[in-house]
Structure 1
Amino acid sequence: MSDTLRPTGSDNTQLARPLRVPIKRRSFFMYAGATAGATALVLAGCNDDDDKNQPAAPTTVNVGITAANDVGVLNYAYALEQLEAAFYTQVKDGAYYQGLPAASAEKQILDDLQYHEIAHREFFKAALGGAAIRGLEPDFSTVDFGVRNGAAAGKLGVLEAAKAFEDLGVAAYNGAGKFIQTPLNLLLAGKIVSVEARHAALIRDLLLEASFVGDDVVQVSTGGPIVAGGPVSATPTGLERSKSPADVVQIVNTFLKEGSKLDVSGLV
């Protein structure tokens, strides 16, 4: 069995792409630089008349539908991975990360998390091919990249923001599994969310030892819904809590610029 994400349906067979594409760290920066250069050239070639004739940019990014294939849910996952990859990339430019000792465990953890999220992002992009949504523009104005945690009011420190992103990512995958049509895609999404759960546990442990089993992410107390709108359990289940796409994007969209906010109305 090959590791590919395959949108189902005969019209989408061309979207299958190998997931295990070797990715070198330098290649990411080279690719980013080439993309930026190409964008600059395109913009330089536009005049005011061209701009006037262009249709208005959409105010949101629709991930697509999943009723007949997996494109919508794969784009949903791709959007989440874009946001996480962008976050850890900006972390490495911040004063907090750059002030850590070179050989510190915390710095190495943040490095690894960035590489994992970039790999996840590129996997989904390759799998979706021409059906992939465009690159999103993040808005991290509520994150203080200069402090570990305990930022000023209205701001999140680096690890506090990382905790929020990782917890949300796990809950999002858990809530989106039911939309996946293809068994292989479900298997691969399960593998990815297992990595995301390890990220969440690591970050939580850095903030507060043993908090990775907190009742806000794993149901260890009686009562309370396991999933949004789900049944109330009379006994602890030990199951991770889930969030629906609609609940997830309410949070995600606060970290995306206007024009990059997500529309997940097709995930029903």
Structure 2
Amino acid sequence: MKSLQEQETELLHQESGILTAKLQRRSFLQYAGAGVAGVALIAAGCKKDHNNTPGLDTGVDLGSGDIGILNYAYALEQLEGAFYAAVIASPYTGISTAELSLLTDIRDHELAHREFFKKALGAGAIVGLDVNFSSINFADRTSVLTTAKAFEDLGVSAYNGAGKLIKTAKYLEVAGKIVSVEARHAALIRDLISNGSFADSTAVDANGLDGARTPIQVLTIAKAYLKTQINASNLPTS
């Protein structure tokens, strides 16, 4: 199986032309309850087009409209949360106290994001997803950090690409707050790998902008790390 980093590199080539402050989980979830609980989840219709979702047209249906985009984000946060939970449950060989603390913070952020979307979606939330991390060596620092970097970069590009598809202003506001945290994670992981690389040219383009990917592009990369099949054929595209 190709690594997540290799899949990202291939997709970027094909396209040719996507933590210093600790976030307390309890306060984040309190905000989620106050800011979103009163907002109705209304799905906007979207035609199915299986031809545009190769390999992503069977399995757990993410839904359409804003519901679909929230479930899309929820699926990605499940994946990231599970990854960092595994990292902390069995830290890699030689991990320092500082790195363990930082990665624990990231785990807590990702789990908070996951629970936020689960609560916001309520009965409309997809099921818990089964992951496949068989290609990751959790005992090896390079394997863990390389995968973390790829996951974080993928997450940033996912939120950037999905923003224009969100119709409800409150959801867009919260998505903006989450993607900024994901970008902090990405910068930190990059610096753990190579000091000073937090915003190099592989992350930020000549215009000073992060990359963006469509949900289909993101899920095509991420599906290698999911045992559960995802049906993204009803997601909005514009």
After TM superposition, the score normalised by the length of structure 1 is 0.67
Please provide the CA RMSD for this pair. 2.0
Matched residue SS, 1:250: helix
Amino acid at match of 1:241: G
Q: Which position in structure 2 is the counterpart of 1:251? A: 221
| C-alpha displacement of 1:213 | 1.5
Amino acid at match of 1:3: G
Q: Which position in structure 2 is the counterpart of 1:4? A: 36
The list of structure 1 runs, each at least 4 consecutive aligned residues, that deviate by more than 6 angstroms after superposition, is none
Relative contact order higher in (CA < 8 Å, ≥ 6 apart): 2
Matches within 5 A, 1:59-208: 60-66=59-65, 70-96=66-92, 99-101=94-96, 104-149=97-142, 157-208=143-194
CA shift digits 1:168-191 (9 cap, x unpaired): 000000000011111111000000
Measure, in 2, the Cα distance between the counterparts of 1:10 and 1:175. Answer: 19
Measure, in 2, the Cα distance between the counterparts of 1:162 and 1:147. Answer: 12
The answer as to whether partners of 1:219 and 1:240 remain within 8 angstroms in 2 is: yes
| C-alpha displacement of 1:214 | 2.3
Matched residue SS, 1:96: coil
Measure, in 2, the Cα distance between the counterparts of 1:10 and 1:111. Answer: 35
Measure, in 1, the Cα distance between the counterparts of 2:68 and 2:95. Answer: 39
Measure, in 2, the Cα distance between the counterparts of 1:266 and 1:219. Answer: 31
Contiguous gaps of at least 5 residues in structure 1: 12-57, 150-156, 221-236
After TM superposition, the score normalised by the length of structure 2 is 0.75
In our comparison, the structure showing a higher alpha carbon Rg is 1
Measure, in 1, the Cα distance between the counterparts of 2:222 and 2:124. Answer: 21
Identity %: 51
Higher helix share: 2
Contiguous gaps of at least 5 residues in structure 2: 1-30, 45-56
- The change in CA–CA distance for 1:10 and 1:100 in structure 2 (over 3 A counts) is closer
Matched residue SS, 1:3: helix
CA shift digits 1:65-117 (9 cap, x unpaired): 01xxx1000000000000000001111232516x534xx21010111011100
- The change in CA–CA distance for 1:7 and 1:142 in structure 2 (over 3 A counts) is farther
